[in-house]
Amino acid sequence: MDEGSAAQPRGVFAAALTPLSSALEPDTALFVAHCRWLLERGCDGVVPIGTTGEGNSLSVRQRMALIEAIAGSGIPMSRFIIGTGSCALADAVELTRAAVAAGAAGVLVLPPFYYKEPSEEGLARFYSEMIQRVGDGRLRLYLYHFPQLSTVPITPGLIKRLLAAYPRTVAGLKDSSGDWPYSAKLLQEFPGFGVFSGSEGFLLANLRAGGRGCISANVNVTAPLAHKVFLAWRDQQAEQLQTDLDAARAVLDKYPLPSALKCVMAAISGNPGWNHVLPPNQPLSEQDGRQLIASLTALAQMKGMLGNHG
**CB atoms inside a 10 Å sphere around CB 29:** 12
Burial 52-72 (b: 16+ CB within 10 A, else e): bbbbbbbebebbbbbbebbbe
114 is catalytic: yes
88/298 with CB nearer its own copies: 88
Q: Which residues bind its own copies (CB under 8 A)?
A: 24, 51, 56-62, 86-91, 94, 111-116, 118-119, 121-123, 125-126, 129, 148-152, 278-282
Looking at beta carbons only, is 121 or 189 nearer to its own copies?
Answer: 121
Report in angstroms how near the CB of residue 310 gets to its own copies at its nearest. 25
Query: What is the CB neighbour count within 10 angstroms for residue 163?
Result: 17
Shortest approach of its own copies to residue 286 CB, angstroms?
A: 15
* Beta strand segments in 20-111, E: 45-47, 81-83, 106-109
Secondary structure element (H or E) that encloses residue 173, with its range: strand 170-175
303 is known as an active-site residue: no
Of the candidates 28, 142, 174, 262, the residue annotated as catalytic is 174
Rounded CA-CA distance 258/17 in Å is 7
Query: Which of 18, 51, 96, 169 is the catalytic position?
Result: 51
CB of 53 to its own copies, least distance (A): 12
Q: Which of the residues 114, 115, 155, 303 is marked catalytic?
A: 114
The secondary structure of residue 232, as a DSSP letter, is T
The radius of gyration of the chain's CA atoms, rounded to the nearest angstrom, is 18
Nearer to its own copies, 58 or 241 (CB): 58
DSSP structural state of residue 49 = S
Q: How far is the CB of 215 from its own copies (least distance, A)?
A: 17
Supply the DSSP symbol for 26: B
| Smallest separation (angstroms) from its own copies to the CB of 95 | 10
Is 52 one of the catalytic residues? Answer: no
* Catalytic, out of 144, 222, 228, 262: 144
Q: At closest approach, how far in Å is the CB of 186 from its own copies?
A: 21
Give the nearest distance from C-beta 234 to its own copies in angstroms: 37
For its own copies, give the closer residue by CB, 42 or 111.
111
Long-range interactions of 228-236: CB distance < 8 A, separation 24+: 228/42, 229/12, 229/200, 229/203, 229/204, 230/11, 230/12, 230/42, 230/44, 230/203, 233/203, 233/204, 233/207, 233/208
Q: Which is nearer to its own copies, 90 or 298 (CB)?
A: 90
Is the C-alpha dihedral spanning 156, 139, 1, 142 positive or negative?
negative
Cα 164 to chain centroid, rounded: 25
Q: How far apart are CA 40 and CA 128, in angstroms?
A: 36
* 142 given a catalytic annotation: no
Q: In terms of CB distance, is 144 or 230 closer to its own copies?
A: 144
Contact 95, 64 (CB under 8 A): yes
Residues 183, 189: Cα–Cα separation, whole Å = 10
Active site residue ranges: 51, 114, 144, 174
